[in-house]
Amino acid sequence: MILLGDILIIVGLSVVVLYLCFQMRVPIIVGFLFTGVVTGPHGLGLVRDIESVKILADVGVVLLLFTIGLEFSFRNLLQVRRPVLLGGALQVSLTILIAFAISRYFGQTIGESLLIGFLVSLSSTAIVMKFLQDRAEVETPQGNTALGILIFQDIIIVPMMLCIPLLAGEASGGTEALLLFLAKVVFIIALVFTGAKWIVPRVFFSIANTRSRELFLLSVIAICLAVAWLTHMTGLSLALGAFLAGLIISESEYSHQAFGNVLPFRDVFMSFFFVSVGMLLNMGFFIEHYLSLSILAFAVMAFKALVAGLVSVFLGLPLRTAILVGASLSQVGEFSFILSEKAIQHGLLTGDMNQGFLALSVLTMMATPLALSAAPRIASFVLELPLPRKIKKGSYPATYEEKVHIKDHLIIVGFGLNGRNLARAAKFSGIPYVITEMNPTVVREERAKGEPIYYGDATQEAILQHVNIKAARALVVVINDPAATRRITELARRLNPKLYLVVRTRFLQEMVPLSELGADEVIPEEFETSVEIFSRVLAKYLMPKEEIEKFVTEIRLEHYEMLRSLSREATSCLDIELCLPDVEIKTFRIAEGSPFIGKTLAQTEMRKKMGVSLLALRRKGEVVSNPAADTVFHAGDILFVVGEPNQIKNVIRLFNVPNRDGSADKHT
């Protein structure tokens, strides 16, 4: 009962705080953290069972990483292997070395200095990926790079934990523990590959055949928790295990259904994670040292952003992407708390030093949404500075040896699913086109296939000049970065005022700003899906094709106003059965022995005496519309009739129930 009361307090206060955050346009993560500060032991002390709340928080992190794995795939993971192996190793190593040097300069011991480096080097997977998911930026270059580095951080935490006893001067652990850990990692990788290839698809096929939603949901959660628990038993983090579980299921055709089932649970439990982090902050300690802690938090975020940004530039990413990656990884992560607890057990972290670390971590987490929101504007400002072109566009060798010289061509920005389909249609139609893409692996693979694709950030004027935007006839933007989309729209319109500019967006609120920046057409992905769906539904209800096309055109010209408001009345009747609910259209076959065989339509007096009209007649595959009065009925004819339900039932009965003497019913 205590836990239930605590959950009620957290949820109830979260509703109030999040409503205020929404009104003030403050990120909801800040609201959850503030809720934790208020309800925690250092605030009003409203929550008593803090350990149970932390368990719920761990479930939230597990479900978050599981859903990320579901949306990812092994193919995508292979594409980010460079950020994982090279980018992650560089970011963690450089951060540890610089933090170690600074700590030693201020008089910390070698063990304490290395511990500080460990703690600062890790970033928050939960916060970063939640933010990227909410903004649909997981698939962007900055999203892929940040995810790759975060994956490396989740893995490297295990060797860090093995090193803590050594840093504390204890001889336990060492080489044997490290070798055992490596053996476990190899076993886990083999298990994941086997599960994704053979086990999970067969298991889910059998479960899906039962058509039981409850069984399917429980199976998904069971696999998630089982793999997470298995990785935890080997010394890896629960979150990494959940990510691997998501990867396993992502390779099957059941990943979308699994994602939809888990999503509501993830959002609920993730709120407990952010609240639990806020509970760690001692407001008394923070108020006493607020100035020094605020300065230190700002310095740590700037330092981490600089290191991650430099690593991104080293990986060959453009400067704008590097700045966004740096902002994403600038906070201290949740797994640092796990390290700090281990350090406390071994006496490396005590007293004010521990409270200072907690306050610093929570401050950086609370500031992360603000930093991520400001990052695009900071990037735009930095790109205006007179920096070398190579730094701005990235060092990836993307064949900029000669400028594009074609004219009246189509420029496609982004080569995801929509970009590929558009390029395929342009090629089929004989329209000249060029593509700009930020994923170097995709660029290399597609150029080998002969695609006119160039690596580069289209938010930079030099990239658009390279693809000869001034001579282009149309430009289509199909990327998942809202800030970059706005900048490309403004830049493209400025460089070519006559350009036909089409922009796809995932968010309704982006329509007006993009139109004001110069887009000729703004295609909201959600509404276009709706348009396609109801177009097919209208066709099914026999609405004329030209009316459907007119209807769709009107919706688009009105900027989808009809889909935003339900006040508009229907102006046409799509089907007689919808507009006249008391009228039915039915078909039936004239059976052998019917009293009406050999009689004409006029002789039956179907309309006059039975109240039913004959619309059409089908005989031997041929259809006769609006049959004449002298049409003779044959056995096997199929009649299409319209009338009230009871009258139609009488007609069907009379046509197929012969009298004893073989004559027609007296009603005829």
CA proximity to 413, closest of 479, 314, 491, 472 = 479
The enclosing H or E element of 100 equals helix 88-105
Q: Give the Cα separation of 102 and 295 in Å (integer).
A: 16
Q: Give helix 290-314 / helix 319-328 axis angle, nearest 10°.
A: 140
The predicted model gives 338-350 an average pLDDT of 80
Q: Which residues of 152-171 are buried (b: 16+ CB within 10 A; e: fewer)?
A: bbbbbbbebbbbbbebbeee
The answer to whether residue 526 scores a pLDDT higher than 70 is no
Kindly tell me if the per-residue pLDDT of 570 is higher than 70: no
The CA–CA distances, whole Å, from 363 to 16, 61, 123, 227, 360 equal 22, 19, 13, 32, 5
**Residues 379 and 305 sit within 8 Å (Cβ to Cβ):** no
Please state, rounded to an integer, the average pLDDT across all residues of the chain.
81
pLDDT at 261 over 90: no
Phi, psi of 353 (to 5 degrees): -65, -40
> What is the β-pairing status of strands 474-477 and 453-455?
unpaired
Delimit the domains of the chain by residue range: 2-383, 397-519, 528-574, 577-656
pLDDT given for residue 92 in this prediction: 94
Which range scores top for mean pLDDT: 227-236, 243-252, 276-285, 373-382? 373-382
Is the pLDDT higher at 78 or at 15? Answer: 15
Q: Are 619 and 636 in contact (CB under 8 A)?
A: yes
**Lowest-confidence range among 7-21, 199-213, 341-355, 560-574?**
560-574
Cβ count within 10 A of residue 269: 19
**pLDDT at position 523:** 83
- Return the minimum-mean-pLDDT range out of 142-146, 151-155, 492-496: 151-155
Render pLDDT for 157-170 as a digit per residue (tens, 0 to 9): 767 877 887 787 75
Q: Give the least confident one: 103-117, 189-203, 453-467, 626-640.
A: 189-203
Instruction: Measure the CA–CA gap between 237 and 521, rounded to whole angstroms.
Output: 46
In this structure, what are the phi and psi dihedrals at residue 477, rounded to the nearest 5 degrees? -105, 115
User: pLDDT tens-digit profile of 438-451?
Assistant: 877 788 888 888 89
In sequence order, the β-bridge partners of residue 640 are: 587, 616
For the chain, what percentages of helix, strand and coil (3-state, to nearest 5) are there?
65, 10, 30
Greatest alpha-carbon span in the chain: 117
Structure tokens at 125: 């997977």
CB 640 within 8 A of CB 616: yes
pLDDT of the residue at 395? 63
Residues 6+ apart with CB under 8 A from 463: 393, 436, 454, 456, 457
CATH 1.10.10.10 fits 2-383, yes or no: no
Both tokens assigned to 8: 């009620």
What pLDDT is stored for residue 74 in this prediction? 65
> How many C-beta atoms surround the C-beta of residue 642 within 10 A?
17
> CA-to-CA distance for 515 and 511, rounded, in angstroms?
6
pLDDT digits (tens, 9 = 90+) for 592-624: 888 888 889 888 888 888 888 888 888 887 888
Query: Tell me, what DSSP letter sits at residue 195?
Result: I
Q: For residue 266, what is the enclosing H or E element? A: helix 255-279
Number of neighbouring beta carbons within 10 Å of residue 239: 27
CA atoms of 538 and 519, how far apart (whole Å) = 30
Residue 293 in tokens = 């802690």
> In the predicted model, is pLDDT for residue 45 greater than 80?
yes
Architecture of domain 577-656: 2-Layer Sandwich (3.30)
Residues 94 and 138: their CA atoms lie apart, in Å, by 25
Q: Is the pLDDT of residue 485 over 80?
A: yes
Regarding the domain with residue range 397-519, which homologous superfamily does it belong to in the CATH classification?
NAD(P)-binding Rossmann-like Domain (3.40.50.720)
Query: DSSP letters along 272-298, please?
Result: HHHHHHHHT--HHHHHHTHHHHHHHHH
Q: Which of 623, 635, 646, 553 is nearest to 593 (CA)?
A: 635
496 pLDDT tier (thresholds 50, 70, 90): very high
**Exposure pattern of 474-503 as b/e (b: 16+ CB <10 Å)?**
bbbbbbbbbbbbbbbbbbbbeebeebebbb
| Tokens of residue 6, six digits | 């605590």
Query: Where does 359-505 show beta strands of DSSP type E?
Result: 410-413, 433-437, 453-455, 474-477, 500-505
Whose tokens are 């508009």? That residue is 568
Summarised one tens digit per residue, pLDDT across range 270-283 is: 788 888 878 877 78
pLDDT of residue 472: 92
**Among residues of the chain, what percentage have pLDDT more than 90?**
15
pLDDT tens-digit readout, 284-324? 888 888 899 999 999 999 999 999 999 998 888 888 889 99
pTM assigned to the model: 0.63
Residues 447, 437: Cα–Cα separation, whole Å: 11
Of 330, 370, 323, 358, which Cα lies nearest the Cα of 95?
A: 330
By DSSP bridging, strand 500-505 and strand 521-524 are parallel
- Of the pLDDT bands very low, low, confident and very high (cuts 50, 70, 90), residue 176 is low
Q: In whole angstroms, give the CA distance from residue 511 to residue 526.
A: 12
Q: Exposure of 316 by Cβ count < 10 A (0-12 exposed, 13-18 middle, 19+ buried)?
A: middle
The answer to whether 275 and 14 are in contact (CB under 8 A) is: yes
247, 69 in Cβ contact below 8 A? yes
Output the DSSP codes for 375-418.
HHHHHHHHHTS---HHHHH-S-----SS-----S-EEEE--SHH
Residue 456, Ramachandran bin (φ over 0: left; ψ between -120 and 50: alpha; else beta): left
